[in-house]
């Protein structure tokens, strides 16, 4: 036995530094990191039933083959699963195989044929316990569901489990091959109940996760309108992931109803505005993909200019007037001449008239306007004329002149 003081591990490295040389202690962090990585690499991988794996065929025995899937030991797979109909091996040592873990009890057992639909009764039992998919063919409709042939034997699929949506004509599934999940197994595999819906919902959840990974603020996605509401439209972005396109984001112009812009089934590109991580609510925009009309407003509109506008809505303090799609101005109530019916009667919502631009503040998105003299279109009701008791043929300009004259000289009569 080697004395402790002579053991190689007990010897310290010789100090070769000079008397005045300061020896800096070496950083032990890299060594610790390496030790941690080494320890982690030596830890055996864990596998679960139902897990998809990939490995290399390392040996072929009499009844089973051995596959290296990166675990502490090698996994086994029944030899018959690697043979064709004539009993000949379809693979050779060194080939890469894709399979699924069907059991971890007493070692890892793999199956390759379950996913391909060729399964014995014993394998169907394994598939049921491991929740693995199996393939089957819908043979006929019977009371309450379908008769399905799985691995050469009959299985029952309830009507509600054949699809994720209601089937109007049950016969449309007859003769089709689908992937199912065994949801009930009795009498050693003789009585099977299967579900295609379980597989479809699982696939949808997986796709939904993939879609959600692309749904980030600023992303431009293609969606389909699935329903209209008074406040907007719900759009399917894929795999059942839905977002809301609010009416305020459908265009730069004011939108009263979603039906004015979009229709169910319509596909269009939208931009993601916001995603709420807690509720998974997604806000979409259509107008953000359109040119901002206010960028051109500075060149288009100037104080003193007269242009046509349409009154979109009335408020206590004035009328909002659309001068161009997406560009609204405000005609303050103080800019309207006196009227018995009030200034609102002059410009009811929907009125088209000529307005004089008083001020332009593009950076604040504000334009101030006033009703121009003699501005009312002939095809619009002249509310000022009607409320003042003047003949319908008399122009707004002459009436305004008389009002101003009367205010300057109250004693003057027409």
d(CA 268, CA 281): 19
Query: What's the mean pLDDT when you consider all of the chain?
Result: 81
Q: Are residues 315 and 355 both part of a single domain?
A: yes
pLDDT at residue 131 above 50? yes
Assigned domain for 255 exists: yes
d(CA 118, CA 81): 9
Q: Are residues 273 and 346 both part of a single domain?
A: no
Q: Are residues 198 and 254 both part of a single domain?
A: no
CA distances from 88 to 81, 92, 116, 159 (A): 11, 11, 18, 40
Give me the mean pLDDT over the 197-220 stretch: 94
**CB of 317 within 8 A of CB of 332?**
yes
The number of distinct structural domains making up the chain is 4
**For 156-199, what is each residue's pLDDT tens digit?**
999 999 999 998 999 999 999 999 999 999 887 789 999 999 99
Q: Are residues 107 and 148 both part of a single domain?
A: no
**For 87-115, what is each residue's pLDDT tens digit?**
888 899 999 988 888 888 888 989 876 65
Coil, strand, or helix at residue 169? coil
Strand 52-60, strand 96-103: pairing: antiparallel
Question: How many percent of the chain have pLDDT more than 70?
Answer: 77
Q: Are residues 389 and 341 both part of a single domain?
A: yes
Assigned domain for 35 exists: no
pLDDT at residue 388 above 80? no
d(CA 47, CA 312): 65
**CB of 256 within 8 A of CB of 232?**
no
Q: Are residues 241 and 336 both part of a single domain?
A: no
Neighbours of 120 (CB within 10 A): 17
Per-residue confidence (pLDDT) for residue 88, from 0 to 100: 87
Per-residue confidence (pLDDT) for residue 31, from 0 to 100: 57
The CATH number linked to 269 is 2.40.50.140
Last residue of one domain, picked from the residues 180, 202, 224: 202
pLDDT at residue 403 above 60? no
Give me the mean pLDDT over the 346-359 stretch: 93
Closest CA to 359 of 313, 317, 297, 316: 297
**For 231-260, what is each residue's pLDDT tens digit?**
999 999 999 999 999 999 999 988 889 999
Neighbours of 348 (CB within 10 A): 13
Last residue of one domain, picked from the residues 172, 202, 232: 202
| Domain boundaries, position 261 | 215-289
d(CA 273, CA 282): 8
């Amino acid at each position: 036995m080697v004395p402790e003081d002579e053991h190689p591990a007990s010897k310290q490295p010789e100090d070769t530094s000079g008397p005045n040389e300061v020896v800096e202690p070496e950083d032990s962090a890299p060594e610790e990191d390496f030790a941690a990585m080494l320890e982690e690499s030596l830890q055996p991988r864990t596998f679960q039933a139902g897990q998809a794996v990939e490995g290399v065929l390392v040996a072929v025995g009499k009844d089973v083959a051995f596959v290296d899937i990166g675990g502490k030991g090698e996994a086994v797979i029944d030899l018959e699963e690697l043979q064709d109909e004539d009993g000949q091996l379809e693979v050779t040592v060194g080939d890469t195989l894709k399979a699924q873990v069907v059991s971890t009890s007493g070692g890892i057992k793999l199956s390759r044929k379950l996913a391909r639909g060729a399964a014995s009764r014993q394998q169907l039992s394994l598939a049921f316990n491991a929740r693995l998919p199996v393939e089957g063919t819908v043979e006929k409709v019977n009371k309450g569901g379908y008769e399905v042939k799985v691995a050469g034997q009959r299985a029952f699929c309830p009507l509600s489990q054949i699809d994720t949506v209601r089937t109007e004509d049950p016969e449309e599934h007859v003769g089709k091959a689908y992937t199912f999940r065994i949801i009930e197994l009795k009498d050693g595999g003789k009585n099977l109940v299967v579900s295609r819906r379980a597989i479809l919902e699982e696939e949808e959840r997986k796709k939904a996760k993939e879609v959600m990974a692309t749904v980030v603020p600023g992303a431009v996605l293609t969606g389909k309108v699935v329903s209209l509401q008074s406040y907007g439209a719900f759009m399917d972005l894929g795999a059942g992931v839905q977002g809301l396109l609010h009416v305020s984001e459908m265009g730069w112009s004011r939108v009263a109803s979603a039906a004015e812009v979009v229709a169910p089934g319509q596909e269009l590109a939208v931009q993601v505005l916001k995603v709420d991580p807690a509720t998974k609510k997604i806000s979409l925009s259509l107008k953000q993909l359109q040119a901002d009309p206010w960028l051109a407003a500075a060149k288009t509109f100037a104080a003193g200019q007269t242009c046509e506008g349409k009154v979109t809505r009335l408020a206590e303090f004035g009328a909002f007037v659309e001068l161009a799609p997406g560009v609204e101005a405000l005609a303050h109530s103080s800019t309207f001449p006196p009227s018995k019916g009030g200034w609102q009667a002059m410009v009811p919502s929907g009125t088209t008239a000529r307005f004089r631009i008083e001020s332009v503040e593009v950076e604040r998105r504000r334009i101030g306007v006033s009703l121009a003299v003699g501005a009312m279109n002939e095809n619009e009701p002249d509310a000022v004329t009607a409320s003042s008791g003047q003949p319908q043929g008399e122009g707004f300009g002459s009436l305004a002149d008389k009002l101003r004259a009367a205010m300057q000289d109250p004693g003057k009569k027409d």
